Amino acid sequence: MTDAVPEPKSTPWSKLAVLGALVAAIVVGYTQFGDSLSLTRIAEQESSLRAYQSANPVLVYGMAFVVYVAVTGLSLPGAAALTLVFGWYFGFVPALILVSFASTTGASLAFLSSRYILRGSIQSQFGDKLTTFNDALERDGAFYLFTLRLVPAVPFFVINLVMGLTPLALGTYWWVSQVGMFPGTAVYVYAGATVPDLQTLSEQGVGGILLPQLLVAFVLLGVFPLVVKSVMKRIRPAEPPPREAS
């Protein structure tokens, strides 16, 4: 029987060395780039960016749309954070329109790539979920997709890819996703839109972010999934009783 090799124990000195190196890196970084990283300096950059948007609105909105479509279409992480940022930068109504259509477009591209390009690999990776999705679609129809979009029980990228392997038509998938994702999108965009601009933060400090609207947004982010789940349980079509054996 071979004795296990004992793992080297970390000494307090090694921990102090790591902590010291981290502190030194922070000090050096702040010394070199402190002026550039100050909130006032960043606020100036934000003002320049907003001025560029005012001069080139179509280009800026178009680039934002393409970026969001790419993130959702390629199933990359960060869609929720991007929604918050767009809400903060563009404002509630413009960001809601942009994100709503961009997210559905990206989801539809992922749906099509799964159906026509990546079918074999997606089927081998999510074959167990495919059976569940097909059974639920046969039982509830498009209402099942609507439920998945409203209640975030399954990651959206999984829904996009697995739904591409089902018989569901692209048109149905598009409009159900558009409607089903809209309430959740509105909550996230509102949360981002309640954050003040950086100029306000640089002038008012932390107090500038402690707004009633922001507290409401955080409450909505926490409560929304619970409310939707409760409502969907009430309106979901009842399952047919099991057939008796003849």
Predicted local distance difference test score (pLDDT) of residue 246? 44
In 10 A of CB 33, how many CB atoms? 11
AA identity, residue 131: T
Q: Tens place of pLDDT for every residue, the chain, 246 residues?
A: 444 444 444 455 554 565 566 556 545 554 555 444 454 565 667 788 888 889 999 999 999 999 999 999 998 888 988 998 899 899 999 999 999 999 999 999 999 999 999 888 888 887 777 888 888 888 888 888 888 888 767 888 889 998 998 889 999 999 999 998 998 899 889 888 887 776 665 555 555 555 676 677 667 766 766 676 676 667 665 555 444 444
Question: Is this model's pTM higher than 0.85 or not?
Answer: no
Angle at 148 between CA 147 and CA 151, to 5 degrees: 80
CA nearest neighbour of 113 among 72, 141, 68:
72
Task: State both tokens at 107.
Answer: 């989801």
Predicted local distance difference test score (pLDDT) of residue 243? 47
| Alpha carbons 143 and 235: distance in angstroms, whole number | 10
